[in-house]
Amino acid sequence: MLRDELNNKAKAVFLGVALGDALGATTEFMTPGEIKSKYRVHKKIRGGGWLGLKAGHVTDDTEMSLAIAHALVDAGQWDLKGIADNFIDWMRSKPIDIGSTVRKGIRTYMQQGMLEMPRNDWDAGNGAAMRMAPVALFTLGDDKLLRKCTLEQARLTHHHPLSDAACITLGRMTQAAMLGADRFQLHAMARELIAEHPNFKFNNYKGYASGYIVETLQTVFHYFFATSSFEDCLVGVVNQGGDADTTGAIAGMLAGAFYGFEQLPKAWLKKLNKEVRIEIEQVTERLVDICPWVAQDAHIQELSGNLWEYYNQGYVVAITTNGKVSRSGNNVMARGTAKQAAERFPDLPQLLGEKINSCGNHVHELPNRLVSFPVEHTPYEVPDLKLIEQSSRELRELTDARGWEKVIVPRPGCGGGGLSWGDVRPLLAPHFDERFRIIKAAS
């Protein structure tokens, strides 16, 4: 997945929280009947509600999510104490709304330095789940880290098995949606939660949308799976009333991940408080930067254009090859960059054939600043991920040994080979540093 796509999804996740919060604050604590008689359908960001909110402003759901995000970005890593300290600052700023369980958790940390509340049967509220967005973004691609960070952040204030399970499932579903899961896969993840905790069942949805985490999730799941746009999902959720800002915020996170930034209603984005929007966009980008899974291959640099233009600029060029040597002793260079190279340097198939016969199907230094980069054993097989990984390692070793300063590699196995770049990229990441460039080669 390209970095731009990832940033786009991440932005949609966090802005989704704010949009749901801002939209839902109007109908918080109302019944569906009251909403209907007052607005028919509430679908504009108009402020008001019991908090008397200005249109486009947000509440604790977004503010606490931002408090977490800033702690992580400031530390450049997971920082539970930093999060707890930011919660204190936030509480002291006299927020427009703060839940009782949240207040108790922050007070306990202030007075006793405790970073985990003891388990409490009354803590099954949605206050930990509403601030999952930054955790899902920071731990993207790493399920173990997601679990650890989720439980730590949740239990700062809420320590209850239903809250824990809901937070983890929401984090997982948000990440899966960001990475391209379809609604069937997401539904299976919701069913996994239900298999463990049947309370969360949401078929025959009864319309309850309180701050009890079970009802919150039932409302979010019902509308997420029953609708086919970000807007319809959120409108459905907030017109259910109850804890509408939080159900809205959570639905916004999930639907944002699934539909992406382009699907967020323009009119809502325009209404959203400008400072909040800018703060979210900035912190989200930095959050993705420090996500360990993303940072691990952030140095992979991609270029576009023609491979041979870079050759003319002095790059060492890797050509993707196979291990097949014909009876005449030539390597079979029938496709892609190998074919292009053979056309430029007619003795290349013979030279590479000799190397393969004597030393095997490996990265070999060839004349004219060329290097073989095996991606498949024969041209009749699909590219082999293991071989690609081996070639990346060998190319790195050869580059070290020769002291080359710039090497360009076509996306291995992704042209005619049919592999997806998302699958190949993580194999190269551990081996390629700033000397290497990847190019989406024209075939």
The three-point CA angle 170-76-177 to 5° equals 25
61 is in an annotated binding site: yes
245 is in an annotated binding site: yes
User: Does residue number 243 form part of the binding site for Mg ion (CB under 5 A)?
Assistant: no
At closest approach, how far in Å is the CB of 265 from Mg ion? 20
At closest approach, how far in Å is the CB of 197 from Mg ion? 24
At closest approach, how far in Å is the CB of 237 from Mg ion? 14
Which of 18, 60, 277, 353 binds Mg ion (CB under 5 A)? It is 60
Type of residue found at 166 = A
User: In angstroms, how far is CA 320 from the centroid of its own chain?
Assistant: 30
Residue 51 or 179 having the CB closest to Mg ion:
51
Which residue lies nearest Mg ion, judged by its C-beta?
59
The 193-232 site mask, x for binding Mg ion (CB under 5 A), equals ----------------------------------------
User: Does residue number 101 form part of the binding site for Mg ion (CB under 5 A)?
Assistant: no
Residue 231 or 245 having the CB closest to Mg ion:
245
At closest approach, how far in Å is the CB of 31 from Mg ion? 18
Residue 37, SS3? helix
59 is in an annotated binding site: yes
At closest approach, how far in Å is the CB of 99 from Mg ion? 8
The size of the interface with Mg ion (CB under 5 A), counted in residues, is 4
User: Does residue number 59 form part of the binding site for Mg ion (CB under 5 A)?
Assistant: yes
142 is in an annotated binding site: no
Q: 309-332 b/e with 16+ CB inside 10 Å = b? A: ebbeeebbbbbbbbbbbeeeebbb
Residue 21 or 123 having the CB closest to Mg ion:
21
79 is in an annotated binding site: no
The CA distance from 194 to 174, in Å, is: 17
Task: Answer whether 118's CB lies under 8 Å from 159's CB.
Answer: yes
> Pseudo-torsion of CA 424, 428, 430, 432, nearest 10°?
-150
4 is in an annotated binding site: no
User: Does residue number 61 form part of the binding site for Mg ion (CB under 5 A)?
Assistant: yes
DSSP 323: -
Residue 92 or 369 having the CB closest to Mg ion:
92
The CA distance from 309 to 25, in Å, is: 56
C-alpha distances in Å from residue 54, one per residue of 26, 58, 149, 418? 10, 9, 33, 52
The CA distance from 148 to 99, in Å, is: 24
DSSP for 61-120 reads HHHHHHHHHHHHHHHTS--HHHHHHHHHHHHHT--S---HHHHHHHHHHHHH--SSPPP-
Residue 59 or 139 having the CB closest to Mg ion:
59
User: Does residue number 164 form part of the binding site for Mg ion (CB under 5 A)?
Assistant: no
Helical spans, DSSP H, in 197-273:
213-226, 230-238, 244-259, 266-271
At closest approach, how far in Å is the CB of 253 from Mg ion? 14
Choices 5-13, 36-44, 57-65, 378-386 (CB under 5 A): range interacting with Mg ion: 57-65
Residue 29 or 205 having the CB closest to Mg ion:
29
Which of 63, 231, 245, 376 binds Mg ion (CB under 5 A)? It is 245
Residue 10 or 25 having the CB closest to Mg ion:
25
What residues are designated binding site?
Answer: 59-61, 243, 245-246
Binding site for Mg ion (CB under 5 A): 59-61, 245
What residues are designated binding site for Mg(2+)?
Answer: 59-61, 243, 245-246
